[in-house]
Amino acid sequence: MSKKLIIVESPTKVRTIKKYMGDRFNVAATVGHIKDLPPKELGVDTKNDFKPVYTTIKGKDKVIRNLKKAAESVDTVYLAPDPDREGEAIAWHAAEVLKKKGRTFHRVLFHELTERAIKAAMSSPEPLNLQRFESQQARRILDRLVGYQISPVLWRKIRRGLSAGRVQSVAVRIICERERKIEQFVAEEYWSIVAELEGESPPSFLARLTKIDDKKVITPSDRKDGEKITIPDEKTATAITNGLKGVDFVVSSVVKKTRKRHPYPPFTTSKLQQDAINKLRFSAKKTMVLAQQLYEGIELGPGEPVGLITYMRTDSTRVAAEAVEEARELIKKDYGAEYLPKKPLFYKNRKKVQDAHEAIRPTSVSNTPKSVASFLSADQLALYELIWQRFTACQMNPALIDQTTIIIAAGSSEFAVTGSVIAFDGFMALYPVAAEKNKKNGETKLPQLQEGMPLNCLEIIPKQHFTQPPPRFSEASLVKELEENGIGRPSTYASILSTIQKAYVDIEKRYLKPTELGFIVTDFLVANFPDIVNVAFTAHMEENLDEIVEGKKGWVATLAEFYGPFEKVLKQVDTDITKNKNKGVATEISCPECKSPLGIKVGKNGPFLACSAYPECKFTSNFIRSEKGEIRMVERPKDEPTDKTCEKCGKPMVRKQGRFGPFLACSGYPECKNTLSLQGEKDDNPQTTGVKCPEEGCDGELLMRRSRRGKVFYGCSRYPKCKFALWNKPVSESCPECGAAILVEKTTKKKGTFLACSNKECKYEKELVGE
């Protein structure tokens, strides 16, 4: 009897599955996708129902040969790539290359890599899911149509090698719009007034002024109607403070109540990323890499790989009943009956949730963080503990918080103070909530007060404040924003964040700030492709892709609905660019030499202003953006006279500042164009790249510098101790083929801009077109 073949996506799953399925099965891996659209052409026949042209991915010929060899004497193949749309596409392509008369294919979905789950999936295989595959195919084609057809437009208008993407460009727009709100924000002054009061017994406490003559005192951001007032300045605050001197302070009401703080649902992908970013300082990408490792299997002993968590790409909070029961047993045993609800807790999903997988949870709560700690890296353990605690806590009783609100009358004014203390920590015994962490110790406890009790006013304290602009997005808050607006899906958030940070967004103190290039590209896309960077339009496209899975829409009709209007806009933009060639992205600034509009162009050294009348007018200038986002020309440094004379015409030489630093030029220009390099006086103005030096044992960082001849290169900040240097821009991403610590950006006429391995002996390349 011949063996049967199981095909998985990742090589790390092979040992885990072999352990549980025994010698009757061979297990082979596709190592991700084996087929895709071609890297150097559109690969979609837009005139023939968007028929895709799939080619074998570079480097996957050997993988396919190994799959065919493993299937040589096999009649039954179980296709078990990841249980999502991408996994479905891998399964279909694997079936295509292994297709043979008499051979049958089954789809199995491993939602967790445990013995019970693997055997259960194998005992109830499914047919390949055509609708799920067509949804993935439609998404891939959509991304290709946008990325491969808008990106060349950006190359012609702004700079070669730039990328646009159906989802990434919307994310960049969201970040740019937030930055512009910050730039346009005008701070508003306001004041608050608090009174330090004392009852019959200590401690004293602070109460805030909340009403004046029955009108609520609010901050400017809360202003809604005429029944509320703000304290706008020091003069008003002083007048109010003086009016309160000598006034009797009396307790007018004491309201005590107990509120419940309910546990959170178990993690979805986006919530896991948000918590890992905020609590562990992990990036979204790092979080998903670690989660994948925990899902695929960790050796808890020699030859004992165990998947520690369920599948990590999900938007559902659904949990299997047996997992809930196991958690309840642990809670009762380790925490006591008072922490255990009478009935299991289940959480409702939001609308439009796919619910294809459970929430992210431990495959078994008996694998406590403490019991597996010695088998995990520090980062793996931190993430596993977060997942384990969140899931276990979701089955615990609510925390009970005693809250006391005291209202104090002071003449025609009113003060208020609220104090609270945790009476029962409930689920927070396992999963603390930041806002409640300190309350258990009684820091906000108030003295015993009763209605009608007079209070002694020790001091009245006015304090100045200013309204604050909206905050920049962090990775966590951007993921939340994308999720709430229906942009992208759980599997895409990490790649979106990673892609936009390559050129369009910088991270400053953990917050996302658009680069100049981010603004330029976003403004161009908003002006020319408004639907592509429209949040509602992009969310609608995501809904269409979901409806393909549900069988409510056809994939060809969905693409046609999008491509008809898109193609018309594309042709119009292409015509406009041809007419306005070399004019750059328009600004409202006039050329100081010919009064034509200036446009923004992007060169090798970054963005600059250039006259739209080029080549008749060759004026260029650097520019900066003010704090309010206004573009301002940078004045050119004046030519400095020198005591040197031109060796060609005898006129005085002047010192100029050029793109590559200072140099000498003949004052007889343009009749005499003689120049002299000032290599010895080359300005060394290195710029950080954020990429660590790859040399072993070096803790330096690669900086962008210029050679004496003005050529850009990248060298270690610890020079001359470390002499590592590159001509190509480094990227903080390791090579998947040879393991080199960094990749580099390269640009050729034929390929445009792409990523390549920094190891010259390795031929790994990766396209840089965002999709």
Catalytic residues, which ones? 311
Cα(723)–Cα(731) distance, rounded to whole angstroms? 18
Q: What is the 3-state secondary structure (H, E, C) of 504-571?
A: CEEEECCEEEECHHHHHHHHHHHHHCCCCCCHHHHHHHHHHHHHHHCCCCCHHHHHHHHHHHHHHHHH
Q: Which residues contact 509 (CB under 8 A, 6 or more apart)?
A: none
Cα(146)–Cα(150) distance, rounded to whole angstroms? 6
Comparing CA positions, the residue from 4, 221, 254, 215 lying closest to residue 108 is 4
Pairing of strands 640-645, 652-658: antiparallel
Count of CB atoms situated within 10 Å of the CB of 691: 20
Phi-psi bin for 32: left (phi > 0), alpha (psi -120 to 50), beta?
Answer: left
Comparing CA positions, the residue from 718, 723, 744, 722 lying closest to residue 733 is 744
Cα(29)–Cα(63) distance, rounded to whole angstroms? 8
Count of CB atoms situated within 10 Å of the CB of 583: 20
Cα(307)–Cα(504) distance, rounded to whole angstroms? 37
Q: What is the 3-state secondary structure (H, E, C) of 6-45?
A: EEECCCHHHHHHHHHHHHHEEEEECCCCCEECCCCCCCEE
Count of CB atoms situated within 10 Å of the CB of 747: 14
Comparing CA positions, the residue from 273, 267, 271, 270 lying closest to residue 285 is 273
Q: Is 701 exposed, middle or buried (0-12, 13-18, 19+ CB in 10 A)?
A: middle
Q: Which residue is it, tokens 């072993």?
A: 696
